[in-house]
Amino acid sequence: MARREVMSKAKKSQNDEFYTQYVDIQKELNAYLEYNPDVFRNKIILLPCDDPEWSNFTKFFAQNFERFGIKKLISTSYAHERKHIEEPYQLTLFESESPKFDKSKTKTHGKIFTLDSDTNKSGRIDINDLKWDYLKGDGDFRSDEVKKLRNEADIIITNPPFSLFREFLAWIMEAKKQFLIIGSINCITYKEVFPLIKDNTVWLGNGMGRWISGFIVPKGYELYGSEAKIDKEGNRIVATNSCLWLTNLEHGKRHQPLQLMTYKDNLKYSKHKDIKENGYPEYDNYNAIDVSFTDSIPSDYKGIMGVPVTFLDKYNPDQFRIVGLGNGAELFGPSKIYENPVMHKNGKTSNGNAINRVLVYRTTEDSKVYYTADNVDYPLFAPYARILIEFKEENDENVA
Ligand SMILES: C[S@@+](CC[C@H](N)C(=O)[O-])C[C@H]1O[C@@H](n2cnc3c(N)ncnc32)[C@H](O)[C@@H]1O
């Protein structure tokens, strides 16, 4: 099964129990700390949709509480009964041996962990000072109880349930909080997400794809060949290349300019055969050129360019402006509508209406897949999803 499919399986089967590895949290968080060592100083940090008893987010922030100068750490979990987990409920020793243990609440209530003082009088505030209790409800992030914690927090950090990603982001945005969350790469093109990226209200974190090395999955989760491994602690890890970090916390990478060659030099020296042979096709239904690789963006091009969505991993808002999305019924406005479009694939034909929602350029009938329509007398090709960008002029007022 392809890696992308693993994530889509997680979404479809409502399997929201993909846990984040310590190493990935550390790697991402270090980049914000490098940019601003005081990013968490005197802040209240909320880690919702977590499982504080063994979550690596809680562990990471609790271990670094003093070093980061955090004011208060709050972490909440979702009631076991609400989770889509097939295996039997396993009570942790931590809970069962605590005087707070309540048999009537253990499966039905969420939990809250807080850290703000040296409760064990060891002389430092660390993971051993975490206090816990049952929440009044199930820990749903949409509940009034967790909303209150959100309102109290300065920064919200988590890997939220995949199936509720849109709702989760809206929940953060309505409270106007700083945040860092994990989502699927596909979220870039969601109508609830792309406008925020376009306006530089939110942006990608420090990496996407293989930057996140994998997720810990529940014992019952079926593992697939090369995507799966068992780590030193016996955790079952599923590797994906389809996730990213989304944030509104500043980091250095987004201010590094992309080093690029001119249009002419790309045609001569590009490492991509496609660019050297075919150059930059003009779209047939939008006034822009297609740039099939981010590193082939011509440094001296003045117009609009369609680039792969992975461009956002290199996007520097001081260098480029995002003009729009090159696909999707709601966010893309083509300059031309094709009448009765037909898709030709491997000698077979089918309905080609999809080309009215994407950028297309002229091709030849040798292409494996191409489109024709009643109002054009040439075949058309639809590249993968594109983002429309242009260079920012110097002294541009909209510099982010
Ligand atoms: C993708 S997992 C990530 C867990 C943890 N944040 C981590 O990264 O290791 C998402 C978690 O959210 C929980 N969850 C699902 N729906 C939820 C909801 N409506 N409110 C709060 N948590 C929810 C799931 O049970 C799961 O534990």
pLDDT tens digits for 113-153?
999 999 999 999 999 999 999 999 999 999 999 999 999 99
Specify the number of domains making up the chain. Answer: 2
Give yes or no for residue 32 having a pLDDT over 50: yes
> Quick check: is 400 in a domain?
no
CA dist list (Å): 374 to 159, 299, 334, 338, 355: 47, 37, 17, 7, 13
Q: What percent of the chain has pLDDT over 70?
A: 93
Q: What percent of the chain has pLDDT over 90?
A: 76
- Given this model, what pLDDT does residue 399 score? 44
Closest CA to 283 of 261, 263, 307: 307
Which of these three, 255, 272, 290, is where a domain ends? 255
Same domain, 275 and 247: no
Read off the tokens for 348.
Answer: 């077979």
Which of these three, 219, 234, 255, is where a domain ends? 255
Please list, in sequence order, all residues whose beta carbon lies within 8 angstroms of the beta carbon of residue 122, skipping any fewer than 6 positions away.
128, 129
Cβ–ligand 1 distance for 22 under 6 Å, the answer no
Range of the domain at 334: 262-392
Q: How far is it, in rounded angstroms, from Cα 127 to Cα 105?
A: 24
Same domain, 208 and 103: yes
pLDDT digits (tens, 9 = 90+) for 12-31: 444 588 899 999 999 999 99
Q: From ligand 1's centre to the CA of 160, what distance in Å? A: 5
pLDDT digits (tens, 9 = 90+) for 62-91: 999 999 999 999 999 999 888 877 777 778
pLDDT band at 400 (very low <50, low <70, confident <90, very high): very low
Q: From ligand 1's centre to the CA of 78, what distance in Å? A: 7
- Given this model, what pLDDT does residue 5 score? 55
Same domain, 242 and 315: no
Same domain, 377 and 304: yes
Same domain, 248 and 273: no
Cβ–ligand 1 distance for 245 under 6 Å, the answer no
Cβ–ligand 1 distance for 54 under 6 Å, the answer no
> Quick check: is 399 in a domain?
no
> Quick check: is 398 in a domain?
no
pLDDT band at 374 (very low <50, low <70, confident <90, very high): very high
Same domain, 62 and 200: yes
Which of these three, 240, 255, 270, is where a domain ends? 255
pLDDT digits (tens, 9 = 90+) for 311-361: 999 999 999 999 999 998 889 999 999 999 999 998 899 999 999 999 999
pLDDT band at 395 (very low <50, low <70, confident <90, very high): low
Cβ–ligand 1 distance for 18 under 6 Å, the answer yes
> Quick check: is 397 in a domain?
no
Mean pLDDT value across residues 358-376: 93
Same domain, 225 and 280: no
Same domain, 289 and 249: no
Q: How far is it, in rounded angstroms, from Cα 90 to Cα 54?
A: 13
Same domain, 233 and 291: no
Same domain, 58 and 136: yes
pTM of this prediction?
A: 0.93
Cβ–ligand 1 distance for 19 under 6 Å, the answer yes
pLDDT band at 199 (very low <50, low <70, confident <90, very high): very high
> Quick check: is 329 in a domain?
yes
pLDDT band at 6 (very low <50, low <70, confident <90, very high): low
- Given this model, what pLDDT does residue 12 score? 47
Give yes or no for residue 225 having a pLDDT over 60: no
> Quick check: is 305 in a domain?
yes
> Quick check: is 149 in a domain?
yes
Mean pLDDT computed over every residue of the chain: 91
Read off the tokens for 108.
Answer: 């039905």
pLDDT band at 169 (very low <50, low <70, confident <90, very high): very high
- Residue 342: strand pairing partners: 351, 372
- Given this model, what pLDDT does residue 3 score? 54
283 — phi, psi (to 5°)? Answer: -70, 150
Same domain, 249 and 278: no
Instruction: Tell the burial category of 50 from Cβ atoms under 10 Å away from its Cβ (0-12, 13-18, 19+).
Output: buried
pLDDT digits (tens, 9 = 90+) for 265-311: 999 999 999 999 999 999 999 999 999 999 999 999 999 999 999 99
Helix axes of 144-152 and 165-174: crossing angle, nearest 10 degrees? 50
Same domain, 137 and 250: yes
CA 285 to chain centre: 29
- Given this model, what pLDDT does residue 160 score? 96
Give yes or no for residue 393 having a pLDDT over 90: no
Closest CA to 328 of 347, 366, 301, 355: 355
Instruction: Tell the burial category of 330 from Cβ atoms under 10 Å away from its Cβ (0-12, 13-18, 19+).
Output: exposed
- Of 25-34, 149-158, 216-225, 378-387, the one with minimum mean pLDDT is 216-225
> Quick check: is 358 in a domain?
yes
Q: What is the residue with the minimal CA distance to atom 6 of ligand 1?
A: 50
pLDDT band at 11 (very low <50, low <70, confident <90, very high): very low
Q: What is the residue with the minimal CA distance to atom 26 of ligand 1?
A: 17
Cβ-based neighbour number of residue 231 at 10 Å = 12
Cβ–ligand 1 distance for 16 under 6 Å, the answer yes
Residues in the chain: 400
| CA-angle at 400, arms to 244 and 286, nearest 5° | 75
Read off the tokens for 287.
Answer: 């006034």
Give yes or no for residue 364 having a pLDDT over 50: yes
